[in-house]
Structure 1
Amino acid sequence: MPGSDDENSGQPSISPISTDAHHRREFSEDTPLLRAATDLPYYHSIQSPDETFRDHELAADVELGEDDETPSEYETRLGRAISFSSQTGIEPSSLESAMLRDTSRRRHGSNKGVNGIQSRRGSTATGAEGDGNVQEQKSPFHGGISVRQFWLIFLGLMGNMFIVCFDSTIMASSHPVITSYFHSANSASWLSTAFLLTSTAFQPLSGRLSDTMGRKPPLIFGMVLFIAGTLWCALAQSMTSFILARALCGLGAGATMTMGSIITSDLVPIEIRGIYQSYINIVYGLGSALGVATGGAMADHLGWRWEFGVQIPPLLLILATSCVFVPRNLGLSHNKENESFLTAMKTFDYKGSLVLTAGTTFLILSLSLGGNIYPWTHPLVLTALSIFVVSTPLLIYIELHAPRPIMPLHLFTHAPRSNLIFSNFVSAITINAIIFNMPIFFQAVRLETATSSGLRLLVSALSGTVCGVSTGFLITWSRRLKWPLVLGGALVFLGPLTLTTITKDMPIAIVLLFLALGSMGQGFQFPGTFMAILAVSDQAEQAVVTSTLMLWRSLGTVIGVASSSLVLQNALVKYLDAFVSGPDKEEVIRKVRGSIEAIVDLDPHYRSQVVAAYSASLRATFIGAAGVGLITLLLVSPIRMPRLGKRS
């Protein structure tokens, strides 16, 4: 009999599907007590149909915080609540039920536990639906994509990034061959300027466009532009045509590099994003190194046109893969998926995009030409600077009133994101000031060849790559975001500070160690900043945040080269005039300012004077870089960062 069974067992028997009135009454009395189980955060994270919220809560529960309860503590507390309020005399031992054991396993267990919750409501899913849910939960990636689809997308993005990095660095070693072919050696600087100008200007535009029309259209459009520009480079018949082709390549490179980072952040949960950032750093380092190492050799043995021709087949394969596997609605919010293209584009910030692109373009143009190709007083340089100065307040006004600004101003007015963006910008200035001027030290002070000085830079490049790769894995392992910012900021400051002490006779090992410090700081700082700003930004803002961060980093690169060159040249005028003495003083100064290679052929008397002048000028440049690097450390030291898995 039921009554005797209950008496013998000492425990009540409750059937959730009983039709007996007494049992229904007994169940309703216990319902408020049993409902306590559903008030727990991790219960709701499992039951919630919102996939994003559920994934976030499960990620946050991987590691128990100070306020988290273990399953055993929860069972004890629930048992006490039932004992004291139900007056049924249920002992805590009676809580060893399947429901609570399953709850514990759901919190710490497998995907199967997560998907097995529907039986509590008395409803059973079909076999097909259950299998589909289990399959979906097995993928750790966002967007409802499978593991296989993710890797097809990610490998395509990484392949494209590798080729873009290769393409952007082959000019370093092959531009003498190309400019000589067209008999235009005086136009060599335009090859890099055209690429850098368009790639930098197009980064924020592609990021905000992806919020309006989804990630796929800007990605595919950027790939098509890059393929067309690369093919144009291979077929160019004049220097003007080749420069225009490099500008088109820059447009495609800016879009695809930005979209690669944005799509990776869309698909990869923030708590494991560091691992994939390390993969990106590996590809970036390998592509850049291979371009520098093989560009000259390919130009000499295969012909410079094949440097671009070999890129076309893999680029076409990557384009086809992206067209097939990148989801069409990736990056679109739910209420925008059904909008037409014209409706979505009505909210796009056209005015801000135009002014930002113009201002960025003319700033880069003035900094690239001024003091390099033309004097700073040249009308073209002054006009470019004037347009930038006028566009800056105009952009601020437009962005203050735009409904969806291309560069939201609140990113620059609230910590920690403002600190992260500006520290990223300042670090880029410091690091590029070092990289640009250290070859001058090796060639003008130590009197080494250009080839030898280039090989010296490989040490710093490798050290920066190793630190960058390690940072992503270490962030994922430690779940802490601030340490790479502080460590990177300290090294960015110490790098140029130690370089102020280098001399002609200092052992080369010590010089290379001091040179590596700044690159190591970059390796910690850049991926650390990227991870940190994603962690403190909403998912809806990650595209504009990513493109803004990359824009300011690129601007820092240009400003670092231009400003350090300006300091060096002005200091050189002063120190050459002070240190060089003799009847041929004016002729010697003219020669060494026109060509560093002329220093080796000077009379020993003049050579030592010129070397001393270059050494003093470089010391002044590195002192300025150290001062800028200190700003990086001051910006990141006071900010507070959350631990991974808990978005703020």
Structure 2
Amino acid sequence: MSASHLSEGTPLLRESTTFQSTSYRSVINHTNDIETGSSGIEAENEITFPVLTQVSSAQPSLDIEPSLERYPSAGSRRKSTVAAHEAHSLSKKESDYASQFIGVSPSQFWVIFSGILLGYVIGFFDSTLMASSYPVITSYFHAANSASWLSTAFLLTSTAFMPLFGRISDALGRKPVYLFSIFMFFVTTAWCGLAQSIGGFIAARAFCGLGAGGVFSMGQVISSDLVRLEYRGVYQSYINLCLGIGSCTGLAFGGLLCDRIGWRGAFLVQLPFIFVYFIVAAMTVPAELGIKLVGSERMTVVQVIRNMDLTGSFFLVSAVTALIMGLNLGGNIFPWTHPLVICSLVAAVVLAIVLVRYERNVPLAVLPVELLTQEPRASIIFGNFFGSVSVNTVMFNAPLYFQAVKLATPTDSGLRLLAASIAVTASSVGTGFLITWSKRLKPTIIIGGISMAIGGCLAASMGITTPDTLAMICVSFNSLGQGFAFPSLMVSILATSHQDEQAITTTTLGLARNLGSVMGVSISSWILQNALLFELENKVTGPDKAQIIGLVRKSIRAIADLDPLHQQQVVGAYALALRVTFLSAAVWGTIISRPIFLPAPRRPVRPARRKPSQSFPRSQIFGLCPQPLQTPWEYSSQYYYLKHRTRDTNMAIRGNLTRRFCVYQTPRSARTPTAPIGAGD
């Protein structure tokens, strides 16, 4: 008889009790107990091991039904007969719906989830508002050549502190961290509307990123805590829908608000909605949600601060800041040979090396290096990074195309980006339901990567004479790929992670996405500013050449006031510079289309029972082990526990850098284990 003893947090289980042992030694000891017929397991009254027996024959596409996860252990089957009879008396529709949530009733969940969705609408409205209004803000402060700092300051702080939110919430609970993030978001949004200088506005956006990063990451973490894995695709679609609503309203009405009430009013008008959001979160989120105990006691605030990876956060922020500074200054404000530019780039490389070496030895690292070396999670994280670079390259520079090349107003520019918001909303919502229906993740990621690559090429084809309708389609194609890829990547990282790792894996994925946003904005700005300076030097003529170049690089609105000859020259220079910039987005989109071994959630392969001596046909275990096994076994998403009660077999455990550990079966007479799973990939 074959059995699998999985932990409570394993995505394949629901209402099992906790089995804390996940180390190599514990698996070996427990296997030996089974081999020797030890009854130590039965003696433990407080621990129940759910047994999932092999099925002699089943369809390859058979899904694990929710009821299988409640299959009782061998020692408790007789005791659960009455409870099972009562459970079957419920209607299938009601039990299936109730089983979608963890620890809360459906009505409680929807009250909590409604507040989370409200936060996403407000947060993405603020983000896309900046995308459509930054030309107005930088022109107001006469700092158009420093436009990248308005977004990178926001993304930098949210990137650095996003993983810390997950760590802190494990100790203090989700609610205090969530409320603190909303409060910071409220205060800093007011600061943005009252800023009196470009430096003050950049500082306000930096602190605003701290609050927004907590809002976004904790919203995902709380959703993961309350919704079971196999249903998260559906609720991720609801989040994506609100993302699209916030993006659409920000892009469509951001420019309109800037034209009608000014850019300051566009920030201040958000405050009443954020206040309502805070009240809803304070009244609905459970106080004890997500708290992990140390022994039998909660961690104190001092213990939390002591366990925080503040040094790693410092190295991360310093490395990214140095890199952005070098890319922003080089060729834009100072020549590439300037000492400040060289020192910034060298410091970024050195700090990045120090960060990686330091994070390897930290138990609660802000950047878990092990996640970057384990497949398929490494591919998921890096795919998320490069996809974010591609998307932000297009979306950050698309408003500049409409305002500098097409000479559109901020209102018209925002309305022309509305098609991109509709595209990402429709594709992301459809992807969530498609994942739940098909139980497959990889195809949508590949489709998303290809769409991003094609979208970058289409955006690069836009010029001065491109019709507005065609330009809207070209810009929206990249967003269409975003809607396909990002929800699949989010569900993939959750499907390949233990329940206890949900918070840190979610925030690490957010870290990669934010780093991609930072790099997308900074690298595209670096390409744009250097290409623009080159094209302006070649195209602009006349005695006022230097003055015109300096003027149009600081203020986009100054282009409309130029004489027809110089206006045509400047517009042509912007069009060529943006073409090179958009072309880089195609490169980043191509990278995430590489083959990735991803799990098919809740879709195990159950072949017919075979003898240990027979070869096992080629199959994929949760999409992670593509090589053939000798005997079919039950499995979890990340850990493989094999138990076989026969006298002619021996269990061998081998560590694997990319797959944590797998367990292999060999004949007792053989002295060496079989080839590792995945060898020859």
Q: TM-score, normalised by structure 1?
A: 0.73
Cα deviations by residue, 1:110-131 (Å, 9 ceiling, x for unpaired): x9x99xx999439978xx9999
Report whether the alignment pairs 1:566 with 2:526: yes
- Aligned-residue offset at 1:208: 2.2
Q: Secondary structure at the match of 2:385?
A: helix
Report whether the alignment pairs 1:50 with 2:5: no
The whole-number CA distance in structure 2 between the counterparts of 1:51 and 1:158 is 31
Cα deviations by residue, 1:180-206 (Å, 9 ceiling, x for unpaired): 9xx855498465454333222221221
- Where does 1:220-231 land on structure 2 (aligned, <5 Å)? 220-231=179-190
Shift in alpha-carbon separation, 1:124–1:421, aligned structure 2, 3 A: closer
Q: Secondary structure at the match of 1:522?
A: helix
Shift in alpha-carbon separation, 1:160–1:506, aligned structure 2, 3 A: closer
Task: Identify which of 279, 285, 293 aligns with 2:238.
Answer: 279
1:167–1:291 Cα contact (<8 Å) kept:
yes
2:101–2:109 Cα contact (<8 Å) kept:
no
Task: Identify which of 287, 290, 311 aligns with 1:328.
Answer: 287
The whole-number CA distance in structure 2 between the counterparts of 1:222 and 1:186 is 30
Q: Secondary structure at the match of 1:330?
A: coil
2:256–2:411 Cα contact (<8 Å) kept:
no
The whole-number CA distance in structure 1 between the counterparts of 2:143 and 2:158 is 23
Q: Which has the larger radius of gyration?
A: 1
Task: Identify which of 365, 382, 386 aligns with 1:426.
Answer: 386
The whole-number CA distance in structure 2 between the counterparts of 1:291 and 1:171 is 8
- Aligned-residue offset at 1:258: 0.7
The whole-number CA distance in structure 2 between the counterparts of 1:205 and 1:57 is 36
- Aligned-residue offset at 1:524: 0.8
Cα deviations by residue, 1:516-545 (Å, 9 ceiling, x for unpaired): 221111111111111111111111222111
- Aligned-residue offset at 1:367: 4.9
- Where does 1:102-251 land on structure 2 (aligned, <5 Å)? 120-121=78-79, 139-171=98-130, 184-186=141-143, 189=147, 192-232=151-191, 244-251=203-210
The whole-number CA distance in structure 2 between the counterparts of 1:105 and 1:223 is 35
Shift in alpha-carbon separation, 1:176–1:565, aligned structure 2, 3 A: closer
The whole-number CA distance in structure 2 between the counterparts of 1:105 and 1:418 is 29
- Aligned-residue offset at 1:482: 0.9
The whole-number CA distance in structure 1 between the counterparts of 2:200 and 2:408 is 35
Report whether the alignment pairs 1:500 with 2:494: no
Shift in alpha-carbon separation, 1:130–1:572, aligned structure 2, 3 A: closer
| Matched AA of 1:436 | F
Q: Secondary structure at the match of 2:297?
A: coil
- Where does 1:609-624 land on structure 2 (aligned, <5 Å)? 610-624=570-584
Cα deviations by residue, 1:5-60 (Å, 9 ceiling, x for unpaired): xxxxxxxxxxxxxxxxxxxxxxxxxxxxxxx9x98999x999974389999999x9
The whole-number CA distance in structure 1 between the counterparts of 2:99 and 2:19 is 12
Q: Secondary structure at the match of 2:592?
A: helix
| Matched AA of 2:383 | S
Q: Secondary structure at the match of 1:561?
A: helix
Q: Secondary structure at the match of 2:476?
A: helix
Report whether the alignment pairs 1:262 with 2:229: no
- Aligned-residue offset at 1:644: 3.8
| Matched AA of 1:263 | I
Equivalent residue, structure 1, for 2:28 = none
Which structure: greater helix fraction? 1
Equivalent residue, structure 2, for 1:403 = 363
Shift in alpha-carbon separation, 1:543–1:609, aligned structure 2, 3 A: same
Equivalent residue, structure 2, for 1:90 = none
1:210–1:218 Cα contact (<8 Å) kept:
yes
Equivalent residue, structure 1, for 2:313 = 353
| Matched AA of 2:60 | E
1:600–1:607 Cα contact (<8 Å) kept:
yes
Equivalent residue, structure 2, for 1:66 = 60
Shift in alpha-carbon separation, 1:373–1:547, aligned structure 2, 3 A: farther
2:387–2:482 Cα contact (<8 Å) kept:
yes
Task: Identify which of 403, 413, 431 aligns with 2:373.
Answer: 413
| Matched AA of 1:641 | P
Shift in alpha-carbon separation, 1:583–1:407, aligned structure 2, 3 A: closer
1:499–1:515 Cα contact (<8 Å) kept:
yes
- Aligned-residue offset at 1:158: 1.7
Cα deviations by residue, 1:71-106 (Å, 9 ceiling, x for unpaired): xxxxxxxxxxxxxxxxxxxxxxxxxxxxxxxxx996
1:364–1:555 Cα contact (<8 Å) kept:
no
Identity across aligned pairs (percent)? Answer: 41
2:156–2:515 Cα contact (<8 Å) kept:
no
2:156–2:317 Cα contact (<8 Å) kept:
no
Tell me: higher relative CO, structure 1 or 2? Use CA pairs within 8 A at least 6 residues apart: 2
Task: Identify which of 587, 597, 611 aligns with 1:639.
Answer: 597
Shift in alpha-carbon separation, 1:594–1:216, aligned structure 2, 3 A: closer
The whole-number CA distance in structure 2 between the counterparts of 1:401 and 1:498 is 45
- Aligned-residue offset at 1:621: 2.7
- Where does 1:462-477 land on structure 2 (aligned, <5 Å)? 462-477=422-437
2:63–2:602 Cα contact (<8 Å) kept:
no
The whole-number CA distance in structure 2 between the counterparts of 1:501 and 1:308 is 34
The whole-number CA distance in structure 2 between the counterparts of 1:453 and 1:353 is 37
Task: Identify which of 392, 405, 412 aligns with 2:352.
Answer: 392
- Aligned-residue offset at 1:157: 1.7
Q: Secondary structure at the match of 1:568?
A: helix
The whole-number CA distance in structure 2 between the counterparts of 1:199 and 1:122 is 48
1:56–1:645 Cα contact (<8 Å) kept:
no
Shift in alpha-carbon separation, 1:313–1:560, aligned structure 2, 3 A: closer
Shift in alpha-carbon separation, 1:215–1:589, aligned structure 2, 3 A: closer
Q: Secondary structure at the match of 1:633?
A: coil
Aligned residues: 567
CA RMSD of aligned residues (A): 4.7
Shift in alpha-carbon separation, 1:328–1:52, aligned structure 2, 3 A: farther
| Matched AA of 2:157 | T
- Aligned-residue offset at 1:467: 0.9
| Matched AA of 2:525 | S
- Where does 1:482-501 land on structure 2 (aligned, <5 Å)? 482-501=442-461
Cα deviations by residue, 1:540-589 (Å, 9 ceiling, x for unpaired): 22211111111221121222222222223333344444556677766665
Shift in alpha-carbon separation, 1:302–1:442, aligned structure 2, 3 A: closer
The whole-number CA distance in structure 2 between the counterparts of 1:122 and 1:628 is 54
Gaps of 5+ in 1: 1-35, 71-103
Q: Secondary structure at the match of 1:531?
A: helix
Cα deviations by residue, 1:260-310 (Å, 9 ceiling, x for unpaired): 111111111111111111111121222233234444655676677665555
The whole-number CA distance in structure 2 between the counterparts of 1:616 and 1:640 is 39
Shift in alpha-carbon separation, 1:294–1:497, aligned structure 2, 3 A: closer
Cα deviations by residue, 1:361-389 (Å, 9 ceiling, x for unpaired): 44455556666677767776666545433
- Aligned-residue offset at 1:598: 5.5
Shift in alpha-carbon separation, 1:378–1:461, aligned structure 2, 3 A: farther
Equivalent residue, structure 2, for 1:535 = 495
